[in-house]
């Protein structure tokens, strides 16, 4: 569906500056060197990127997604078609998030977007450090099956982390005096309920 949506706007060029087009061309030349003969799989996407239009979802190759992140950080990706991968949003700043449906695919068919995921996606709108102080969220409703009200009014979900502490976290606690070891390892929302073994 994302591919079809991106294909529908193929005739629009959102990158007007020659220097921006040059930057995108350089990024994709580097990507071509990294991917080798597999680059043929994303050649059409490279053509779209020259116009400031990119795709971002879990089925894309890792190298392409890294390039999309770089484009987004440098304001070269003007239009990003993506799935709920936007919710993680690290390195993918956007000014406006447009949600086209209140449903998402799952193993059990189409389900209503979980409230926590919805607010995570909305939280990506706005570009702190990129000159934007306010983000916009647009909710499209052209189907009778939209459930935005249900999402807004859903109960807050309790989040419990798995309690897995990786070696890097522990090493940082011993390396930097400014880190409160007990707070980081034992009182974090991602700590396990019983942390006696950590002490």
Record the pTM: 0.70
Q: Which pLDDT does position 21 carry in this prediction?
A: 94
Among 13-22, 167-176, 188-197, whose mean pLDDT is lowest?
A: 188-197
User: 178 vs 55, which has greater pLDDT?
Assistant: 55
C-alpha atoms less than 13 angstroms from C-alpha of 65 in its C-beta half-sphere? 15
Write a three-state SS string for 55-96.
Answer: EECCCCCHHHHHHHHHHHHCCCCCEEEECHHHHCCCCCCECE
Cα dihedral sign for 90, 60, 26, 76? negative
- Tell me: pLDDT of 141 over 60: yes
> What is the rounded distance in angstroms from the CA atom of residue 185 to the CA atom of residue 166?
10
> What is the rounded distance in angstroms from the CA atom of residue 87 to the CA atom of residue 47?
26
Q: What is the distance, to the nearest Å, from the Cα of residue 113 to the centroid of all Cα atoms in its chain?
A: 16
């Amino acid at each position: 569906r994302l591919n079809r949506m991106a294909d529908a706007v193929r005739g629009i060029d959102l990158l007007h500056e020659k220097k921006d087009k040059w930057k995108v061309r350089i990024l994709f030349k580097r990507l071509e060197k990294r991917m080798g003969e597999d680059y043929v799989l994303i050649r059409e996407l490279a053509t779209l990127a020259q116009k400031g239009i990119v795709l971002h979802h879990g089925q894309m190759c890792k190298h392409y997604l890294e390039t999309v992140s770089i484009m987004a950080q440098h304001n070269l990706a003007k239009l990003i078609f993506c799935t709920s991968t936007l919710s993680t949003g690290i390195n993918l700043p956007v000014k406006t998030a447009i949600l086209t449906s209140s449903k998402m695919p799952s193993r059990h068919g189409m389900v209503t977007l979980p409230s926590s995921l919805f607010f995570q996606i909305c939280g990506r709108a706005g570009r702190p450090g990129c000159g934007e102080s306010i983000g916009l969220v647009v909710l499209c409703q052209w189907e009778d099956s939209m459930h935005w009200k249900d999402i807004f009014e859903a109960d807050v979900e309790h989040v419990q982390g798995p309690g897995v502490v990786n070696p890097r976290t522990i090493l940082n606690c011993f390396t930097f005096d400014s880190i409160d070891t007990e707070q980081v390892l034992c009182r974090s929302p991602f700590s396990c309920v019983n942390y006696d073994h950590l002490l």
